[in-house]
Amino acid sequence: MQKLVIEGGTPLFGEIMTQGAKNAVLPVLAACVLCEGTVHLKNCPCISDRYASARILSALGAKVKTEGNSLTADCTGLSSDEISCYLMKAMRSSIIFMGALLGRTGKCTLCYPGGCNLGPRPIDMHISAMRKMGGIISDEHGVISCSAPDGLKGCRHSLSFPSVGATENIMLAAVCAEGETIISNAAREPEICCLADFLRACGAKISGDGGGRIAIEGVKKLTAPDEAFEIIPDRIAAATYLSCAACAGGELLIRDCAPAHLEAVLPVFEQAGCRLKVFGSNIYIYRKGRLRAADTIRTMVYPGFPTDAQAILMAPLCTAEGTTVFVENIFENRYRHTDALCRMGADIKAEGKVAVVTGVPRLYGTVAEAPDLRGGAALVCAALGAEGISEISGVNYIDRGYEEIERVLTAAGAKIRREAEKLP
């Protein structure tokens, strides 16, 4: 086990290049299952979830090679349609291999996915959609067996909630299904558009992504693109490093970060008193002096304020003058980071969907454990601005979504290092 040791109180200065998006590369990797030929991907983030997806592809019989932020995958000769429970539980988004495998082989066996404990995240919409397209699905003792003996058939889906995962699974199942598929109340996230762009580059017929209605006309097969496909920038990683600067002070230039994907987040930094300048694909942030409280922050589906940024923005607002109210509308269990922030001196009262953050003059270093991916990132942000030294364990959660976060922040002047935890 490892921990991050952070000495707070040092302002940040410099430039940070935005990594490829975690939530975009994972469905694209699943989509490789559908392609003949070798897929070349670039700007793939070097994170543990990416490696977990690559292991699933390898276990299915694909030839996968990685080199830095580049990856190649040749799924032409898949030899298996089963994913072990061990591999499935490594991450939440492993469930999207269901649609890809059913679309490619007409059958698959997998288990319920793992990932961060953020409260109930049922996969009923995924299973219902596959059944509606002709899939026969049984669930015994947590093992899900799927088959489509007559092939998948296009149909109309009206999602009760614009679920990103369900939208992706239906897209993957539909691109090679017979006939037309319509997804109403589809998720609109940039990562959905990235997946659609990749599938189109492989020969799929998709329209409407980025809106609430996606239309897919099934094709006979997909073929790997001739050119390397580039993964979009990670909007949550960009928000995290902006928050690091808001917590620690100083000035940072976040490069290649797709500011248009952050339109719900950037106003919060400005309300808090940070100076922002957006030019091209870059965002400049400057913070000096005490922050101010922001307007009520309500998490919503895209293009609203992202639930993944809730904990990350809470960290700097812990020391803002005034009171900020957070309302979490997506997940039930997304305030698990607040106990650690309170141990650092924050004044947070959380109950149900609401957290009331009353700013304090300063935070203090502490020993804490990352409760999940974004909660762990929030603790890193807070520790950078706190007085004294913090030790944050549970780094495996943070590694799921961030490329060597200590290296990135050290290059910007932070005093942060990774150490092995000593056994008791």
- 116 catalytic per annotation: yes
Sign of CA dihedral 64, 65, 71, 73: negative
| pLDDT of 421 over the 90 cut | no
Q: Which of 116, 146, 318, 381 is an active site residue?
A: 116
pLDDT above 80 for 122: no
Query: Does residue 121 have a pLDDT over 70?
Result: no
Least confident of 100-114, 181-195, 198-212, 253-267: 100-114
Q: Indicate if the pLDDT at residue 318 is higher than 70.
A: yes
Half-sphere exposure for 286 (CA within 13 Å, toward CB)? 4
Region 339-351 average pLDDT: 97
Total residue count of the chain as it appears in this document: 424
The H or E element containing residue 187 is none
Contact 400, 48 (CB under 8 A): yes
What spatial distance separates the first Cα and last Cα of the chain, rounded to whole Å? 12
pLDDT digits (tens, 9 = 90+) for 367-404: 999 999 999 999 999 999 999 999 999 999 999 999 99
> Please, which pLDDT band fits residue 116 given cuts at 50, 70 and 90?
low
Q: What is the pLDDT of residues 163-190, one digit of tens each?
A: 999 999 999 999 999 999 999 999 999 9
The rounded mean pLDDT for the chain is 95
**CA-CA distance, 99 to 170, in Å (whole number)?**
6
Tell me, yes or no, if the pTM score tops 0.75: yes
Relative to beta strand 282-287, strand 250-255 is antiparallel
What 3-state class would DSSP assign to 140?
A: strand
Residue 117: pLDDT band by 50, 70, 90 thresholds? very low
| Dihedrals phi, psi of 401, to nearest 5 degrees | -130, -5
The tens digit of pLDDT for each residue in 58-111 reads: 999 999 999 999 999 999 999 999 999 999 988 878 899 999 999 999 999 998
**pLDDT band for position 123 (50/70/90)?**
confident
What percent of the chain is modeled with pLDDT above 70?
Answer: 98
Strands 389-393 and 213-217: what pairing? Answer: unpaired
In DSSP notation, 20-84 reads BPHHHHHHHHHHGGGEESEEEEES----HHHHHHHHHHHHTT-EEEEETTEEEEE-TT----B--
pLDDT (0 to 100) of residue 120: 42
**Structure confidence at residue 218 (pLDDT):** 98
pLDDT at position 141 is 82
Residue 262 dihedral angles phi and psi, to the nearest 5°? -115, 20
- What Cα–Cα distance (Å) separates residue 130 from each residue in 103, 113, 284, 370? 10, 17, 44, 35
The two counts, helices (H) then strands (E), for the chain are 14, 25
Which tokens hold the place of 133?
Answer: 């397209």
Enter the tokens of residue 219. Answer: 């094709």
Rounded Cα distance between 344 and 316, Å, is: 12
CA-CA-CA-CA dihedral for 312, 162, 73, 131, to nearest 10? 140
| CA 273 to chain CA centroid, nearest Å | 27
Q: Quote the pLDDT of residue 221.
A: 95
